[in-house]
């Protein structure tokens, strides 16, 4: 993460108030605000001698620039600094065309003076007065890198609006010798080094500009060889046999608790293949009796595999972080965030599985002919039919209520999305606390059932031609015993270390962590 301010004035012009530049104040500003890169952007002029003096004195990267009056708005134009004489000459042409405060150049004139605008970083006043007109923005087109905004709230608006430019927030400060209160208006960009091309790329990506350091990513030393990684997404590029897999293997060895999906392993993973592997595990070296004995538990295991406790915890963490951020940004509250629907939660839909079972059971009693006499000895057929009608009416009512809830949830969701896009304040993430609590209860119950199943017992005993065939159940004694039973070459030692905690063992055995 690097902090930049690309809108700084060091020379008083016809468009500015009178002030006396101080190089020591500039150094003090850079030091106090911990800035990593600046651009000098005076109104309609460029002072080459002063720029060279600044560049030789300050300890950070300095880029040459100019703030140009274009039509009725302002445009920051920043160069890479490799051709200072040529840039100085072009800026003198701008100064000659704008001798007074109310003068300006057109986009056509700008393009004539700077024929290749793609060489520069162009940042127009966007949500900041005086704004560049829509017509001028359209003429400049893709040569624009970002748009300067006037407030953090407008910065957030632009980030959320897909049609808006990438926002930047700069000081627009005059470095006066009498300056006391230094501006806090700077922008963080997600890059490792301040160079012209890197900065330009960052300013064209909304995912790489931030108002706070903690919102972005950071680099850290990953390997002793000097490899650095980002806390965000990392991509290793290279031709065949250039060390990509070796680097990944080294990272896997260096760090603990790494989820390493090796090359081509994803190509072999699909739901049907996983199901087949589970079924093969049951049938291999097991009798039909064993399969029948474990079938009810297999159904439970299939359901528990989808319970992701870590994902639930991440959802709660996201909720708490968004809640804290929402509270911290209370001063940004606007009419959108004040709406009752801004943080509204969805209506929870009812589960009809119990009601469906009752209806099916009642229908079975009504339609059964084999035991009709026995049934009618205890319950009259008319009463059963009346019960069936009542249950189906209840089902219709609950279904209608669920449909209404679903419609309202869709409506609320669409309204919330619209409010979130237009508001500067961070919305509070939705989280289903009931589902999370139920998952924890499921895990507790699953652990109890699995531990009970591990208790040694005799499943069946048969006498066959003078021999006693006894089927027993007992827990595995070790990872090797489990491996031998599975018939697979996979190591079970890591998973087996959690054998006393059934849910943890299940997660590790299925390769989720």
How confident is the model over 66-88, as pLDDT tens digits?
A: 999 999 999 999 999 999 999 99
User: Does residue 282 carry a pLDDT above 50?
Assistant: no
Mean residue pLDDT across the chain? 88
Q: State the pTM of this model.
A: 0.64
CA 279 to chain centre: 36
- What does the alpha-carbon distance between residue 278 and residue 268 come to, in Å, rounded to a whole number? 15
pLDDT at 349: 87
Are 301 and 506 in contact by the 8 Å Cβ rule? The answer is yes
Closest CA to 440 of 309, 257, 342, 271: 309
Work out the percent of the chain whose per-residue pLDDT is above 70.
92
Could you give the angle at which helices 502-509 and 433-453 cross, rounded to 10 degrees?
100
User: Does residue 2 carry a pLDDT above 70?
Assistant: yes
What are the E-state strand segments in 10-145?
Answer: 37-43, 61-70, 73-78, 121-127
Could you give the angle at which helices 288-305 and 433-453 cross, rounded to 10 degrees?
160
Are 41 and 8 in contact by the 8 Å Cβ rule? The answer is yes
Domain-wise residue ranges, the chain: 2-216, 218-268, 271-306+454-509, 330-425
- 57 vs 61, 79, 182, CA distance in Å? 11, 19, 19
Maximum mean pLDDT: which of 105-119, 327-341, 368-382: 105-119
Stretch 393-408: mean pLDDT: 95
Stretch 264-269: mean pLDDT: 61
* 510: three-class secondary structure by DSSP: coil
**Domain at 2-216, CATH class:** alpha beta
């Amino acid at each position: 993460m690097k902090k930049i301010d690309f809108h700084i004035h060091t020379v008083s012009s016809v468009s500015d108030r009178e002030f006396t530049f101080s190089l020591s104040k500039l150094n003090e500003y850079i030091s106090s605000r911990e800035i990593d890169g600046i651009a000098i952007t005076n109104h309609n002029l460029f002072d080459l001698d002063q720029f060279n003096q600044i560049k030789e004195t300050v300890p950070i990267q300095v880029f040459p620039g100019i703030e140009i009056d274009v039509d009725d708005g302002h445009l920051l134009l920043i160069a890479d600094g490799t051709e200072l004489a040529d840039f100085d000459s072009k800026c003198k042409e701008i100064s000659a065309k704008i001798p007074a405060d109310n003068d300006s150049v057109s986009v056509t004139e700008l393009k004539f003076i700077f024929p290749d605008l793609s060489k520069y970083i162009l940042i127009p006043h966007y949500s900041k007065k005086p704004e560049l007109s829509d017509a001028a923005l359209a003429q400049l087109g893709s040569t624009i890198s970002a748009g300067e905004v006037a407030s953090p709230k407008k910065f957030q608006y632009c980030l959320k609006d897909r049609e808006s430019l990438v926002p930047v927030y700069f000081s627009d400060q005059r470095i006066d010798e009498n300056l006391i209160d230094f501006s806090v208006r700077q922008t963080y960009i997600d890059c490792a080094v301040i160079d012209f091309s890197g900065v330009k790329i960052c300013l064209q990506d909304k995912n790489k500009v931030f108002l706070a350091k903690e919102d972005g990513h950071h680099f850290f030393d990953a390997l002793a060889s000097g490899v650095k990684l980002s806390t965000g997404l990392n991509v290793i590029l290279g031709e065949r046999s250039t060390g990509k897999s070796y680097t990944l293997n080294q990272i896997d060895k260096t760090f603990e608790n790494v989820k390493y999906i090796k090359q081509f392993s994803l190509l072999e993973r699909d739901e049907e293949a996983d199901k087949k592997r589970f079924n093969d595990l049951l049938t291999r070296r097991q009798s039909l009796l064993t399969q029948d004995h474990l079938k009810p538990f297999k159904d439970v295991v299939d359901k528990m595999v989808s319970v992701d406790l870590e994902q639930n915890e991440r959802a709660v963490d996201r909720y708490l972080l968004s809640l804290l951020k929402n509270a911290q940004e209370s001063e940004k509250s606007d009419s959108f965030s004040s709406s009752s629907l801004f943080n509204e939660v969805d209506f929870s839909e009812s589960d009809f599985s119990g009601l469906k079972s009752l209806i099916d059971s009642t229908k079975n009693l009504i339609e059964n002919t084999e035991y009709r006499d026995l049934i009618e000895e205890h319950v009259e057929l008319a009463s059963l039919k009346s019960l069936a009608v009542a249950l189906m009416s209840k089902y219709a009512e609950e279904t209608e209520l669920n449909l209404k809830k679903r419609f309202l949830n869709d409506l609320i969701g669409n309204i919330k999305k619209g409010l979130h896009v237009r508001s500067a304040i961070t919305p509070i993430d939705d989280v289903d606390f009931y589902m999370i609590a139920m998952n924890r209860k499921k895990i507790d119950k699953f652990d109890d059932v699995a531990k009970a199943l591990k208790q040694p017992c005799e499943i069946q005993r048969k006498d066959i031609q003078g021999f006693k065939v006894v089927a027993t159940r007992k827990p595995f004694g070790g990872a090797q015993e489990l491996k031998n039973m599975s018939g697979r070459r996979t190591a079970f030692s890591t998973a087996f270390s959690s054998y006393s905690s059934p849910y943890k063992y299940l997660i590790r055995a299925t390769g989720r962590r």
